[in-house]
Amino acid sequence: MSVTVENVSQLGRKLTIEVPAEAITKDVSERLQKLAREARLPGFRPGKVPLKVIRQRYLKPVTQETLANLMQSSLMSALEDKGIKPAAYPKVLPVDLEKYEEGQEFSYQVELDELPKIELATLTDVAFEQPQVEITDLDIHTVLERMREQNPQWKAVERACQDKDKVMMDFEGSIDGELFPGGKAEGFGLVLGSGGMIPGFEEPIIGMSKGDEKDITVTFPAEYHAKELAGKEATFKIVVHEVLEPALADLDEAFAQQFGIKEGGMDALKKDVKGNMERELKMKINTQMKEIVFTKLLEMHAFDLPVSLLVEETANMRRLLEQGAANSLKRPGLDAITEDNLEEEANRRVHLGLLIAHIIEAKGIKADMNRISERIFEMASVYEQPEQIAAWYLQNENARKEVESMVLEDQVLDWILSEAKITDKPTSYKEVMGLDEKAEK
């Protein structure tokens, strides 16, 4: 086998691979002989079909099948022989197998991007500050107060409704005088200011009282999920049955029971809350440290990126953006993924992915199975039936691989931090969790 490599760009390669005639003839001959032993043709006993007949009937398709298989096997051998590690599966250029003439060598070409050569920089002089946080009783009290605000007791009032009130009402929507599916509800409870309805729906209701009726006009957003309603103007007839104002519940056993605490009252709830806070804090610190450390890692390692990976990642991100799943693309320090910054973020993802993969290979990092199990149970703990969720992750190969990737990323972070200089930074729970910022907003 002969292999010629042409550099078409910094990482782009074009390979011309020639398969010798002897290899093709040998493979075709073996396949035809096997067919002769197995073929069942009219007029011949099983296994007694003459090879000449088999050649006349099957030579062409067997040759084409042989060439296709040899292309795959020879490509792998060629890459190994030339020490080329492709960034993605090579693109085989079109070739007409029907034009191959028996007894001739066979050549084909492939295009690919080679993985860049990466040399890890020395990390021993790099310094990072790692937050050290102690959850205080005041932190727990603050969370409990927020829970009270988010789970108020509703009390009926005899006044016009205002922001933060809950309005019990009926509504019926129509477009051009025609009712539309999903546009009607009875006894519906709407918390004003919650943003639970389409833009422009809640504001006209403010000021209405029990027994009031009103027609309001709103326009469905252009990107509304129901395409038949998107961008259309609708009229809703509103009938208010009751106005309720929020009141903070007492921090007592009844309050604890709202959160699934059957025994132990507020002491048990506080313990449960603290456990959740510790899990959230651990994840938050991990996320923040990844952003800081990996950004520094990117700054220290500049190299060319495979065009094929950039094109693929940009396409994947654009598809998520178009599907309205932009939140899955966000990272700390970035408000949102938009068309304006999409290519830059795709570049960052490919750059970082190659670096992490190189560290995993160079340092022989293997996914820690105990950490994978711990991560799965941590993720499942926020659901009502965590055992079922954890079992699903453990049984679903794709889901389990996603968790494995997260754990490997954490292990890469651990390795970097073990090489660098780390300084503990005393930090408050509020600061790490960004609670002060949320309050200001």
Name the architecture of domain 127-139+260-440. Orthogonal Bundle (1.10)
DSSP symbol at 38: H
Indicate whether 406 pLDDT > 70. yes
Indicate whether 44 pLDDT > 90. no
> Over the stretch 167-203, which tens digit does the pLDDT of each residue have?
999 999 999 999 999 899 999 999 999 998 999 999 9
Which among 157, 67, 142 has a CA at the least distance from the CA of 105? 67
Q: What is the largest CA-CA distance in the chain?
A: 100
Indicate whether 438 pLDDT > 60. no
Q: Is 85 helix (H, G, I), strand (E, B) or coil?
A: coil
Which two tokens mark 29?
């001959």
> Over the stretch 307-328, which tens digit does the pLDDT of each residue have?
999 999 999 999 988 887 767 7
**Overall average pLDDT of the 333-354 stretch:** 90
Q: How many residues does the chain have?
A: 441
**Overall average pLDDT of the 247-272 stretch:** 93
Q: Is 425 helix (H, G, I), strand (E, B) or coil?
A: strand
Which among 49, 35, 29, 53 has a CA at the least distance from the CA of 102? 29
Which two tokens mark 306?
């495979």
User: Which pLDDT score, from 0 to 100, does residue 436 have?
Assistant: 64
Helix (H) or strand (E) holding 34: helix 21-38
Q: Is 242 helix (H, G, I), strand (E, B) or coil?
A: strand
Q: Is 364 helix (H, G, I), strand (E, B) or coil?
A: coil
DSSP symbol at 337: -
**Overall average pLDDT of the 266-293 stretch:** 94
Which among 300, 409, 408, 358 has a CA at the least distance from the CA of 117? 358
User: Which pLDDT score, from 0 to 100, does residue 383 have?
Assistant: 85
User: Which pLDDT score, from 0 to 100, does residue 439 have?
Assistant: 45
In the chain, what are the domain boundaries?
2-113, 127-139+260-440, 153-247
Across the strands, what pairs with 167?
190, 243
Q: Right CATH number for 153-247 from 3.50.30.30, 3.50.50.60, 3.30.499.10, 3.10.50.40?
A: 3.10.50.40
Listing DSSP states for 140-188 in one string gives HHHHHHHHHHHSPEEEE-SS---TT-EEEEEEEEEETTEEEEEEEEEEE
Which among 124, 88, 148, 3 has a CA at the least distance from the CA of 311? 88
Indicate whether 440 pLDDT > 50. no
User: Which pLDDT score, from 0 to 100, does residue 215 have?
Assistant: 96
Dihedral sign for Cα atoms in the order 287, 288, 291, 294 = negative
DSSP symbol at 93: P
Let me know if the fold of 2-113 is the same as that of 127-139+260-440. Answer: no
Indicate whether 66 pLDDT > 90. yes
> Over the stretch 77-109, which tens digit does the pLDDT of each residue have?
999 999 999 999 999 999 999 899 999 999 999
Amino acid 341 reads N
Q: Right CATH number for 2-113 from 2.40.100.20, 2.60.40.10, 3.30.70.1050, 3.40.190.10?
A: 3.30.70.1050
**Overall average pLDDT of the 218-227 stretch:** 90
Phi/psi of residue 412, nearest 5 degrees:
-65, -40
**Overall average pLDDT of the 35-39 stretch:** 84
Q: Is 123 helix (H, G, I), strand (E, B) or coil?
A: coil
Distance CA 265, CA 274 (A): 14
Asked if 238 and 208 touch (Cβ cutoff 8 Å), the reply is yes
Indicate whether 335 pLDDT > 80. no
**Overall average pLDDT of the 46-66 stretch:** 88
User: Which pLDDT score, from 0 to 100, does residue 5 have?
Assistant: 96
> Over the stretch 1-31, which tens digit does the pLDDT of each residue have?
899 999 999 999 999 999 999 999 999 999 9
Indicate whether 441 pLDDT > 70. no
Per-chain mean pLDDT for the chain: 92
Asked if 171 and 185 touch (Cβ cutoff 8 Å), the reply is yes
